[in-house]
Structure 1
Amino acid sequence: MSTPFPPKEPGERLVRWLYSLALYLLSPFTLYHLVSRGFRVREYFRRWDERYGAYSTEQGRPCVWLHAVSVGEVNAAAPLVNALLRQNKGTRWVITTITPTGSQRVRSLWGGRVDHVYLPYDLPGSVDRFLQHFRPTVALIMETELWPNMLFGCRDHRIPVYIINARLSARSLRGYRLLRPLLGRALRTVRCVAAQSVTDGRRFQVLGAEPAQIQVLGNLKYDIEVPDGLEVLRSAFEDALGRKRPVWIAASTHEGEEEAVLALHRRLQARWPDLLLVWAPRHPERFPRAQAAAVAAGWKVGTRSRDGWPGADDQVFLVDTLGELMAFYACADVAFVGGSLQPIGGHNLLEPAAVGTAVVTGPHLHNFVDISRRLDEAGALRVGQDLDGVGDALETLLADPQAREEMVAAGLALVDQGRGALRRTLELIAPDLPEPDPVEE
């Protein structure tokens, strides 16, 4: 027996009208946003029709729809999508993202096995066209993507919605406070909020979700899948170097952190002259700038796209490709995870831990509070409170193989202990998924 959909609440029509009016008045700025981003990332000049819910293709058959805003969320969803693709090969999947890098990650993971479009802006007409075109039978929304008109639209089209791997930082909760009358009503239309932690669940309740809607299932990021061929890539990397060299990786760095990476490498090279920096900026538009900055600093620089592997005399190796970060984490002795020396909130600390690399980060970790706390308590993370602190941690770990081994063991154990959210999520959403394919004799 299907679960009934909640009725419209008193006052919903007014708050939706006011919100939608504001969006329509602001809609010219969406064009400005696309154009301004397009000068940095050319992909933003393409596929504008999808962002306004206009499609040239035929409607197609109903689908399972998953929304993951960008690369991090796509990676977090990967174990779930992979499990469901194995379970039912006949299901049509549509995965939406907002960023071009998220789109590229979807394509690199699944190719033509899933359809990808950009999520349309939260305008009523765009939302309605999207839902009518793709006709999802269930919507799986990753983490913290709360678009009121989309949630209301799913309720109106009788599409069950699950917010999976749901997280809500204290900072995000404060940012949403002016929209609570709207977001609370929108949240109460969803079937379940599958929270990463008890704290996340409580914050969703403060925002307006009912206690009965909340289930704490853990974090899908712990069910991380180690890439195939990891040992082969690591062996090829070491062969390319030609000799044993110390290696550190600066990963997912943002604008404003590049000078910090250069300063850290200068400091560490003073002690280890043959040290190699593997550098993987967060966004593709930063690849050329990072390369230029390293060349300007006087270093010999190799790149993944041009050279394939670092040369024996390279001092910096730029990973200017997508989808290979975990493999290159495994090639390093120590990893610094960026987005943490600025108030960005950090990035996935479990990826280096899962492939056996010691992890260092800066102090800004509000997007990964629970993960960073657990890693720190387990002895699997070093947190520098500023640039000097990060440098101290990197220097200590490069000099102490035993300390690195202890951190690696603790990180691997923590990742293994944290697994299970995938199984629980699959059990939660099973009633609204298409029937699995029959087992062939």
Structure 2
Amino acid sequence: MQHIYSFLISVFQRILPFIGLFIPKLKEFYTVRKDVFAQLNQNIDSNADLIWVHAASLGEYEQVVPVLEELQEKYPTYKIVLTFFSPSGYNIKKDTSLAAYVTYLPLDTKQNAKQFLKILKPKLAIFVKYEFWPNFLQELHKQKIYTVLVSGVFRLSQPFFKSYGKWMQKSLNAFNYFFLQNVESLKNLGQLGFTNAIVSGDTRFDRVSRQLKYDNSLKFIEDFKQDKLMLVCGSTWKDDEDLLIDFINEKHDIKIVIAPHKINSEKIEELKKQLEVSVVNYSEKELYDLKDIDVIIIDTIGLLNKIYSYADIAYVGGAVGTTGMHNVLEPATFNLPIVTGTYINNFPEAIQLQHLSGLSTVKNKTDVQIILNKLVFDSQFRIKTGAIAGEYVSKNTGATEIIMSYLDQTLTA
């Protein structure tokens, strides 16, 4: 089966330039990868000690940040090469200071894998969560390059556990060690005969927890909030905003920040037309006395984590429809009570927070009115609910320390 897989990937690589003429996304997929090897040859020092870290997208990057920070601090002579599969990760983090070089992962052909590793010659390879590319993994195994999986997840729905995907089990031999998020993953991996694994936890908890140590000050939020309660609606989609409109228009004596998931000027203007309160965009904040404004819409990226540090209540978007709920751990780490939609079944941390009473779900405008009014007017309830969320994060930190204790042995051997 791997021969068939490799053949199909190779064919796809050859015809990709032609398919791209008709499908814009595939054109981009080809364009951003066509010069990867030339750029690698130009930018990679063949004599340097390298660590290769691969994250599928932005979420996986955020997950591995604590490990990157530790590696950079403890092993400054090592150069980190970071690869992404998705543009959403690369475009936002291509200039990150946590890596010496950032690029796209070439397509998973045998030739690409050999050429890539020939250029990098990494001392260590780190994969994040569940990004498995058979040819790259097989080549890593063949070259005996130390390889680990961090914050790994193994579900019975993955190809490894299906009759048609058993050939992929062989690629897991590349991993010297698996650092897994939960006991279920350890049990499932054990079914495949792998015992070189440990439940270290999810490094996302370490990532969000570290936000508490950073400088989160934002002058414009201080001018805006004053001494009032503040609701932050993070990573919202239209479905979320439609649920929140009536509550916002009731003109409670609170401040509200809306940070849309996608920055689209036309959709932001449509949202503003529905609001019956004073509202400004972040980009025009200098034109107003913010203490007199009720709502700020954040029409830029990269501020949400800091804004949460000023909040009293958080609404997390993406779980009203099927777009996918966004990170509830970011507000939880700041001891915020969390409200979100009902589509949380694929998000264990949200389910656990709901079970602990640190998170509430809403399915309609009535639900929104009930829970947000309770959080606004019942300070005891608000503080208790937020404390539950914060405690949940603090109790689940520590994965990075476990991972680094192993990597220390590897890198100093």
TM class, shorter-length: 0.7 to 0.9
Q: Does 1:212 align with 2:160?
A: no
Deviation at 1:184, TM superposition (A): 1.0
Stretch moving more, 25-34 or 117-126: 25-34
TM-score of the superposed pair, with normalisation by structure 1: 0.80
Residue of 92, 97, 100 corresponding to 1:114: 100
* Local SS of the residue matching 1:120: coil
Deviation at 1:416, TM superposition (A): 1.6
Deviation at 1:428, TM superposition (A): 2.2
What residue is the counterpart of 1:248 in the other structure? 231
Residue of 239, 242, 250 corresponding to 2:223: 239
Stretch moving more, 20-29 or 422-431: 20-29
**Identity score, percent:** 21
What residue is the counterpart of 1:36 in the other structure? 24
What residue is the counterpart of 2:338 in the other structure? 359
Residue of 46, 50, 69 corresponding to 1:82: 69
Structure-1 separation of matches of 2:178 and 2:80: 21
Structure-2 separation of matches of 1:160 and 1:387: 52
What residue is the counterpart of 1:287 in the other structure? 264
Alpha-carbon spacing, 1:338–1:266, altered in 2? closer, same or farther (3 Å):
closer
What residue is the counterpart of 2:12 in the other structure? 26
Stretch moving more, 336-345 or 405-414: 336-345
What residue is the counterpart of 2:139 in the other structure? 153
Q: Look up the equivalent residue of 2:354 and give its one-letter code.
A: D
Residue of 394, 397, 406 corresponding to 1:419: 397
TM-score of the superposed pair, with normalisation by structure 2: 0.85
Deviations, residues 327-355 of structure 1 (Å, cap 9, x unaligned)? 11223322122232233442322110112
Q: Can you give the 5+ residue segments of structure 1 that lack an aligned partner in the other structure? A: 1-14, 436-441
What residue is the counterpart of 2:168 in the other structure? 183
Q: Can you give the 5+ residue segments of structure 2 that lack an aligned partner in the other structure? A: none
Indicate conservation of the 8 Å contact 2:272/2:279, yes or no: yes
Alpha-carbon spacing, 1:118–1:263, altered in 2? closer, same or farther (3 Å):
same
Deviations, residues 152-196 of structure 1 (Å, cap 9, x unaligned)? 1211222121111112456x5379736522321111331122110
Structure-2 separation of matches of 1:53 and 1:134: 13
* Local SS of the residue matching 1:413: helix
Structure-1 separation of matches of 2:400 and 2:183: 17
Deviation at 1:382, TM superposition (A): 1.4
Indicate conservation of the 8 Å contact 1:348/1:368, yes or no: no
Structure-2 separation of matches of 1:308 and 1:45: 41
Deviations, residues 384-406 of structure 1 (Å, cap 9, x unaligned)? 35665455433432332221111
Residue of 162, 184, 196 corresponding to 2:148: 162
Alpha-carbon spacing, 1:384–1:63, altered in 2? closer, same or farther (3 Å):
same
What residue is the counterpart of 2:274 in the other structure? 297
Indicate conservation of the 8 Å contact 2:106/2:112, yes or no: yes
Indicate conservation of the 8 Å contact 1:54/1:129, yes or no: no
Indicate conservation of the 8 Å contact 1:339/1:345, yes or no: yes
| Structure 1 residues 189-228: aligned runs within 5 Å | 189-206=174-191, 208=192, 210-224=193-207, 225-226=210-211
Deviations, residues 361-394 of structure 1 (Å, cap 9, x unaligned)? 223334431x224323333211335665455433
Residue of 343, 353, 359 corresponding to 1:375: 353
* Local SS of the residue matching 1:294: helix
Q: Look up the equivalent residue of 2:66 and give its one-letter code.
A: P
Indicate conservation of the 8 Å contact 2:178/2:198, yes or no: yes
Deviation at 1:105, TM superposition (A): 4.4
Please give the root-mean-square deviation of Cα atoms over the aligned residues, in Å: 3.2
Deviation at 1:53, TM superposition (A): 8.0
Deviation at 1:296, TM superposition (A): 3.9
Alpha-carbon spacing, 1:380–1:427, altered in 2? closer, same or farther (3 Å):
same
Indicate conservation of the 8 Å contact 2:159/2:166, yes or no: no
Deviations, residues 72-124 of structure 1 (Å, cap 9, x unaligned)? 2211211111111111111110111223332254356526x521111112122
Structure-2 separation of matches of 1:375 and 1:34: 45
Stretch moving more, 320-329 or 147-156: 320-329
Stretch moving more, 130-139 or 322-331: 322-331
Indicate conservation of the 8 Å contact 2:217/2:306, yes or no: no
Stretch moving more, 49-58 or 352-361: 49-58
Structure-2 separation of matches of 1:86 and 1:304: 34
Stretch moving more, 331-340 or 154-163: 331-340
Indicate conservation of the 8 Å contact 1:335/1:357, yes or no: yes
What residue is the counterpart of 1:64 in the other structure? 51
Structure-1 separation of matches of 2:22 and 2:60: 21
Deviations, residues 210-243 of structure 1 (Å, cap 9, x unaligned)? 231321111112213115554532x6413235x5
* Local SS of the residue matching 1:122: coil
Alpha-carbon spacing, 1:313–1:404, altered in 2? closer, same or farther (3 Å):
same
Q: Look up the equivalent residue of 2:183 and give its one-letter code.
A: V
Deviations, residues 258-314 of structure 1 (Å, cap 9, x unaligned)? 1x233233221243355544232334xx43354233234356553334537983454
Q: Does 1:343 align with 2:343?
A: no
Indicate conservation of the 8 Å contact 1:148/1:182, yes or no: no
